[in-house]
Structure 1
Amino acid sequence: MFRDTQSSWISTLRHDVPASLVVFLVAVPLSLGIAMASGAPLVAGLIAAVVGGIVAGALGGSAVQVSGPAAGLSLVVVDLVHTYGWRATCMITLLAGAVQLLLGVFKAARAALAVSPAVIHGMLAAVGVIIALSQLHIVLGGSSQHSAIANLIELPGQIADMHGHKVAVGVLTIVVLALWTRLPQRVKAVPAPLAALFVAAVTAWAFGWDVTRVDLSESVGEWAFPVWPAGDWHMIVSSVLLVALLAGCESLLCCVAVDGMHGGRRADLDQELTGQGVANMATGALGGLPVAGVIVRSTANVKAGARTRMSTILHGVWVLVFALGFGWLIKLIPLEALAALLVFIGVQMVNLGHVKKVHGHGEVPVYAMTMAGVILLGLAEGVLAGLALAALLALRRLTQVTVLKREDRDGRMHVTISGSLTFLGVPRLTRELRTIPAGADVDLDLNIDFMDNGAFEAIHSWRLDHERMGGAVHIDELHDEWYALAASGARTSPVKSPPKAPDRWWLPWAHRRRHEEPRPVPAEGGSDGASAAGQAECLLTAGAREYHSRTAPLVKPIFTALAKQQQPSHLFITCADSRIMPSLITSSGPGDLFTVRNIGNLVPRRGSEPHDDSVVAAIEYATQVLGVHTITVCGHSGCGAMAGVLSGGVQAGSLPGLRRWLRHGNHSLARFIEAEGERLHSGALDVLCRVNVQQQLENLMTYRKVEEQVRAGKLELVGLFFDIGSARVHMVPPLRQMVPAGRED
């Protein structure tokens, strides 16, 4: 116990204390800048940093996430301060914390992740634009306007009437921030915001520039309890919910992102929301800004090597010590330097990486709508507009209908309808169905997971009209029987059926559909041979189309993960017989089996004649490169190769290549004769097939690497026999027990 405690303290001193100092140096300038952008007392930013570090760090569900004042909430705070005043804004923050606490207690944190990231990223980008435009006026020596549009309109006049020293300080700050990332790693150990403010303050002091100094006259000693906001209670409730939801969503999304940056314990989102709620209640009561999880400080914390929540807590302690003991240093910072820092942060909030991500999912309109709405209308209005558009696009995707049509040579139409069939898809559905020629025979496949009454009526009415005109319609439902139930008058399920893989992929072509039954092919004749080739090509092409339409979307994630490397656990040696499907009889999937198929599932003995490198190469690659754990030899009943071996090569007389290859089965024949003598019976062939499996396991042991791995317990040899008639798989015991070295009793 003592050693565990000592180890914990050593880890804290080694990793968390240095990380907390790095985060502290990042947090102080950012907290001051966000407070200024929020229209709040500057000390409110430091209070929020202290409470976010100590309270949220101690009670939250993430070990390394850092909480504090967030730039994304600055627009809300500005509006609240303008409408209700600062002390009332603190009460709204306190009430928002209580809402977050309740949501966390009732396990509602996961619901916040249902918000489209495109909305969040669009909101943050818009906030960045607004902050940059407003603070740019301060950098230029003026004052910001009441809206982003007004700031943009007034910008040319502000540029024309620039104030020299103030502009110089702002430009110097931005230059330092921009160049800091290109400096050597040792220099970059100092956070860029701290370095930029330090350079700006020292330069302004050294040259005696006429700049505006940060006023920190408000102090913690002048604290007063928050007051209840005066005004329409509907608006007050809306403001409380807005702060609670925005701060909660930003914290939880940040928490999920930070989880992907470290290898420690995963975050508890409900606990994180509870901790954020308590922190916001505390910061509101103490006169601080709203608190949320912030990605910049959290990323700095992870990169600095933080291991536990002690880093987050200690960073809050350092901010408190700085505010109480060294607050006078803040007065040396030029206000224009803080504004320049905010301009730089605002520009960085427009992250092109986020635009690329949402573009890949077709959600750029949501991003753009949210961004434009927040800039032009306001934060709440812009977010609601983005959410509405995201919901409409999601509804459109969920109800999107795909209609594929194909006509056979004999004029038969094959139509596949995929998707969720609702009344929204009826116009497209009826338009496509009406293009089918009257009187045609139609195979209609419904590959759907939902059908409402409007969609049913559209399909049913078309079917009745088509059959009335002399056509025929055969409907095949690949999932639940939505159409059949509706046609019978039965009550259908009100929810979508879960998607499932096609349940007939394993059937031979001849058994799938009536129109795919193979036609008789004459044994001789050039034209008939060409017809047979054309039929095979047609079946293969149709199979490929079916794979692309049904199976490929289901297995694509698996093959994407397997694209770079294969890691099979088994080498599976079996016969080339078309009736043997290794993945079917072993219930295996892509990437499981490294398969070798040949006539008679034979493994040539090492050094045997005729010489064969194909099977040898597969064995070498499987055991020495892929590192398989098992080699399985699978034979089957009625094997034609074993019938050729049993006839002494007579049945393969006209096939010289096959006759030479079957010599590798002579050892199986010799062992069979030794065991059965001259008692040949009706089941002799299947007995030889089983003996052949045992002999091939023996042949595998003639390879040195195989024998070494078997002896070392790293490799297992397994025999299987597939009885085609009964569709059963049987284990075939080896001729001798292959016990790993060191395990003999």
Structure 2
Amino acid sequence: MSTDTDSVPRTSRLHALVHHRVLRHDVPASVVVFLVALPLSLGIAVASGAPVAAGLIAAVVGGVVAGAVGGSAVQVSGPTASLTVVVAESVHHFGWAVTCFVTVGAGLLQILFGLSRIARGALAIAPVVVHGMLAGIGVIIALQQVHVLLGGNSLSSSLQSVIQLPHQLMSVHKGDLCMGLVVIAILICWKFAPRPVRVVPGPLVAVVVATVLSLALPTHVERLVLDGSLVDAIGLPALPHGGWFAIGMTMVTVALIASVETLLSAVAVDKARPGVATDFDRELVGQGAANVTSGLLGGLPIAAVIVRSVTNANAGAQTRAATVLHGLWILLFAVALAAVVQQVPKAALAGLLILIGAQLVKLAHIRLARRTGELYVYLATVLGVVFWNLLLGMLIGLALSFALLLWRVVRVTICAGPVAETGRWKVTVDGTCTFLALPKLTAELAKVPAGPPVTVQLTVDFLDHASYEVLTEWARRRESEGGTVDFVEIGTARMAAAPAGPPERGHSRQVLDRVIGPRRRSGGRVDPIAAGIASYHRGHAHLMRPHLNELRDRHDAHSFFLTCADARIVPNVITDSGPGDLFTVRNVGNLVPVGGSDISVEAALIYALEKLDVRAVVVCGHSGCGAMEALHREVQADPGFGDWLAYARPSLDRFRLGHPVAAAAALAGFGEVDQLGMVNVAVQLESLLAYPAVRRGVEERGVAVSGLFFDLATARVIEVTVDGIADFDDRGARVIAEPV
């Protein structure tokens, strides 16, 4: 038991450890993130049409509030490019003070999202829509900032940006263009710089170089303007005068975009830090609190930014201290060095934003959309975002994604035609067969002429009652006219399940119970063998036919396989073999009779070795064997069974004398009956090796003789040798090479 005096040193050590982690990892990481976030925050504020100080306020609040309250230890929040378009439209229509009110409302919605624990629901938006939305935002940012790069002002409409671009090119300001191109060139080349150099963030270097050049060169450029200090920029939001529906829709849009980007960023950060999981609901509460605070102070809307978050994680951040400290560094810079901010050319930030916008249009996303057949969803989302608005573009993408999903779910391919040189016709149905497919299904069935036999091949994962009735009625009518119809069911949905209850996707246990179970329990009126044969003819015969046709005039077995008669042992399954591979002999207890009148195993063995030239001889026992249990308990059995078990008596004697296989099995955790079963396999191996035919096969042809033991509880196969056991891993290699 610890005392109070013991707890003091422990607490001190804990605090010392935390302080060490903060000083060693979090402080350097916070400086790196600060240097990345500073120019981006300024640029996003300019692109949004908001006061420059609003970007700095949002960056401070995002670091301090979201970093302290959110559900991720290293995720970094602040003003983000994905909200630039929405904020710019809000500022244009409602003014800056009302936009701050929108930010507060969006934050309250995010808090409700988090408290209602629906955060993961935001991840249900189709990725192609998110990718298209981000690409559309990137295009808008690039179109707007090209005008700033050329010395003009950004336009609120993408269409106007395109229309006015030739005029802007004719009146370009060379100084602004030069500064913007310098930033773009440095950012492009920065990724090729040596690793030690790239420790310094490229955006900071580009903006600093452009600022210094603009001061050194004899050229005029437009610079940032701060209306007073950061404290002067703080102001309460204003209530709108009407237009509440439009304002409410803007709030919802900001809340949804900020939430989706935050959650996607959290997923990416969690992947980069295995073993660490973000509390999504708490993260939304933290983001909402940050947006409420930012809006009340006159800052931009906030979201987690994946670039800053990954930068923070890669810089070695361990705790929330890095995120909070980066916000404090921005606050210190904004208060103490506000004059420096006003020296930054607008064109330098425009170049930075153009590159950010271009990077939102990712070729990997376009290739993925093309491969998955969703390219038109991507393009429609991009065009909707660029030439209408963000919310409408996202709704267009979601609608098209849902339509594509519905089409894929109900899609079915049906075709009918003659099978060459057989005289038969074949009707194939592939996909999801519902009442929506009935026009096409009946049209294809009508193509089949009256005379020839027909095979209906169903490769379906869903079959409703309407389709089942059409198929069965067509088959009944055809058979009543003297024709033949064979159904081949390859897919997971079965015709027998359709009239038994509501249709279900796949071939579930519940469907089997409904179709077979009740009839078996009601007096056994269904013959399980006959039912199985019918199922085989429908589901597997067509697959077996080509292979067995090749084997009809020759044997191709590679192994003699002696195993127990127990129905739970399926040799072809546990050896992953097919028809014709195993020459199988089964008896009670997988015994090799020696010194008696039963020569059945010997006859089969000689035939397999001398006529079939098998390359392996295997004896396989199993756990829970009834014969071994009766032998172990020395049960007084009926003469027939007792006489047969006498062949296993040597196994019991060897077990009681302390066979090494029994010792190995005991160490592996097997009970005495299963230990006896493994000893029995080892003894049968010795008996097999004593046969002259087996010895000749081993000496002349290298025939392999091996023992196996199938453990029913784990469904694993264990190798049994004459003096030990070994196990197999998933690659088939033995993981216990020596006797245990």
Q: CA deviation at 1:17?
A: 1.4
- In structure 1, the partner of 2:288 is 277
Given the alignment of the two structures, is residue 431 of structure 1 paired with residue 443 of structure 2, yes or no?
Answer: yes
Written as runs of structure 1 = structure 2, the 5 A alignment for 1:2-81 is 2=11, 3-81=13-91
User: Does the 8 A contact of 2:107 with 2:288 survive in 1?
Assistant: yes
C-alpha deviations, 1:124-158, integer Å up to 9, x for none?
Answer: 11111111121111111122333223222332332
User: How far does the alpha carbon of each residue in 1:363-413 deviate from its partner, in whole angstroms, 9 at most, with x for none?
Assistant: 222111101111122212211111111010011111122447798897666
- Equivalence for 2:183: 173
Check whether the contact 2:76–2:309 (CA below 8 A) recurs between aligned residues.
yes
Gaps of 5+ in 2: 1-9, 514-527, 622-627, 682-709, 726-735
Alignment-derived partner of residue 212 in structure 1: 222
Higher mean Cα deviation, 110-119 or 373-382? 373-382
Match 1:345 to one of 341, 344, 356: 356
- 2:528 counterpart of 1:513: no
Spell out the pairing of 1:639-718 with structure 2 (5 A cutoff): 688=647
Q: Which residue of 1 aligns with 2:408?
A: 397
Q: Which amino acid aligns with 2:182?
A: L
Moved more, 231-240 or 655-664: 655-664
Residue 192 of structure 1 is matched in structure 2 by 202
Q: Is the 8 A contact 1:511 1:517 kept in 2?
A: no
1:600–1:635 Cα contact (<8 Å) kept: no
CA contact (8 A) 1:600 1:641 kept: no
Letter in 2 for 1:91: F
Aligned partner of 2:152 among 142, 166, 173: 142
- TM-superposed deviation, 1:735: 10
Compute the displacement of 1:309 (Å).
Answer: 2.0
Shift of 1:70: 1.0
Other-structure match for 1:562: none
Aligned to 1:559: none
Gap change, CA 1:532 and 1:152, over 3 Å in 2: closer
Greater mean deviation of Cα atoms: 302-311 or 229-238? 229-238
Partner of 1:576: 561
TM-score (norm 2): 0.73
- The answer to whether the Cα contact below 8 Å between 2:486 and 2:538 also exists between their aligned partners in 1 is no
1:611-660 Cα deviation digits (max 9, x unpaired): xxxxxxxxxxxxxxxxxxxxxxx996466797999759677567765999
Q: Is the alpha carbon distance of 1:587 and 1:651 closer, same or farther for their aligned partners in structure 2, counting shifts above 3 Å? A: closer
Q: How far apart are residue 185 of structure 1 and its match?
A: 0.8
Query: Counterpart in 2 of 1:355?
Result: 366
d(CA) in 1 for partners of 2:433 and 2:614?
Answer: 57
Please list the CA deviations of residues 33-80 of structure 1 after superposition, one character each: whole Å capped at 9, or x if unmatched: 011111111111111111111111112112221111110111111111
Q: Output the amino acid matched with 2:35.
A: L
**Distance of aligned partners of 1:532 and 1:661 in 2 relative to their CA distance in 1, 3 Å threshold:** closer
Out of 108, 111, 125, the position equivalent to 1:101 is 111
- Shift in CA distance, 460/588, structure 1 to aligned 2, threshold 3 Å: closer
Q: Kindly provide the amino acid, as one letter, of the partner of residue 321 in structure 1.
A: L
* Number of positions where the alignment pairs a residue of Structure 1 with one of Structure 2: 640
Mapped contact 1:644–1:650 kept (Cα < 8 A): no
- Find the partner of 1:372 among 383, 391, 398: 383
After superposition, the C-alpha distances for 1:154-182 in whole angstroms (9 at most, x for unaligned) are: 32332333222221111111111111111
Match of 2:689 in 1: none
Structure 1 partner of 2:263: 252
Equivalent residues of 1:64, 1:301 under 8 A apart: yes
Aligned residue in 1 for 2:127: 117
Q: Secondary structure at the match of 1:576?
A: strand
8 Å contact 1:141–1:336 — kept in the other structure?
yes
8 A Cα contact 2:132 2:378, kept in partner: yes
Q: How high is the sequence identity, in percent, across the aligned residues?
A: 37
Post-superposition Cα deviations, 1:70-118, rounded to whole Å, max 9, x if no partner, equal 1011111111111100000110111111111111111111111110111
* Offset, 1:451: 5.1
User: TM-score by structure 1 length?
Assistant: 0.72
Letter of the 2:58 counterpart: A
The CA distance in 2 between the partners of 1:732 and 1:31, in whole Å, is 66
Name the CA shift for 1:229/1:736 in 2 (closer, same or farther; >3 Å).
same
Change (3 A) 1:469 1:238: farther
Displacement after TM superposition at 1:428 (Å): 3.5
Give CA deviations for 1:516-550 in whole Å, capped at 9, x if unaligned. Answer: 9999xxxxxxxxxx999626589x9xxxxxxxxxx
Say if 2:238 is the partner of 1:227. Answer: yes
Instruction: Tell me the SS of whatever aligns to 1:368.
Output: helix
Which residue of the partner structure matches residue 326 of structure 1?
Answer: 337
Which whole-Å CA distance do the structure 2 matches of 1:532 and 1:388 have between them? 48
User: Residues 588-603 of structure 1 correspond to what in structure 2 (within 5 A)?
Assistant: none
Q: 1:534 to 1:16 in 2, by over 3 A?
A: same
2: distance between equivalents of 1:29 and 1:386?
32
Partners of 1:421 and 1:448 within 8 A in 2:
yes
> What corresponds to 2:140 in structure 1?
130
Q: CA deviation at 1:209?
A: 2.6
The more displaced of 391-400 and 642-651 is: 642-651
> Which piece of structure 1 moves more, 13-22 or 459-468?
459-468
Q: Deviations over 1:225-264 (max 9, x none)?
A: 1112233322222111111111111111221122111124
From 182, 191, 213, give the equivalent of 2:192. 182
> Equivalents in 2 of 1:532, 1:253: separation in Å?
50
Provide closer, same or farther for how the CA distance between residues 69 and 411 of structure 1 changes in structure 2, counting only shifts above 3 A: same
The Cα of 1:293 is off from its aligned counterpart by: 1.3
Task: Between 296-305 and 457-466, report the one with greater CA deviation.
Answer: 457-466
CA deviation profile, 1:289-323 (whole Å, cap 9, x unmatched) = 11111111111111111122221111111111111
Whichever residue aligns with residue 549 of structure 2, its letter is G
Q: Distance in 2 between matches of 1:145 and 1:43?
A: 21
Question: Equivalents in 2 of 1:417, 1:232: separation in Å?
Answer: 55
The residue identity in structure 1 corresponding to 2:161 is: N
Q: Residues 404 and 39 of structure 1: is their aligned pair in 2 closer, same or farther, counting only changes over 3 Å?
A: same
Q: 1:499 to 1:325 in 2, by over 3 A?
A: farther
2:655 and 2:613 map into 1 onto residues whose CA distance is: 17
* Change in 2 beyond 3 A, CA 1:516/1:201: closer
Match of 2:311 among 300, 312, 330: 300
Superposition deviation, residue 729 in structure 1: 6.6
Tell me if structure 1 keeps the 8 A contact 2:142–2:358.
yes
CA contact (8 A) 1:665 1:692 kept: no
Structure 1 residues 70-79 or 443-452, which shifts more? 443-452
1:384 & 1:422 partners in 2: Cα distance? 28
Aligned pairs for 1:460-479 (under 5 A) are 462-463=474-475, 466=478, 470-471=482-483
Q: Does the 8 Å contact 1:642/1:685 carry over to 2?
A: no
Which consecutive unaligned segments of at least 5 residues does structure 1 have? Answer: 520-529, 541-573, 602-633
Tell me, in whole angstroms, the C-alpha distance in 1 between the residues paired with 2:333 and 2:75.
21
1:617 matched to which residue of 2? none
Question: Structure 1's 693 and 106: CA in aligned 2 closer, same or farther, altered over 3 A?
Answer: farther
Please give the per-residue CA displacement for 1:538-591, whole angstroms capped at 9, x wherever unaligned: 9x9xxxxxxxxxxxxxxxxxxxxxxxxxxxxxxxxx963599999966999999
Summarize deviations over 1:322-379 as a string: whole Å, max 9, x none: 1112222111211110111111111111111222333332222211110111112221
3-state DSSP of counterpart to 2:272? coil
How many Å apart are 1:499 and its aligned residue?
6.2
Local SS of the residue matching 2:373: coil
> SS where residue 185 of structure 1 aligns?
coil
| CA spacing shift, 1:660–1:432, aligned 2, 3 Å | closer
From 549, 567, 573, the equivalent of 1:534 is: 549
Cα distance in structure 1, aligned partners of 2:723 and 2:418: 59
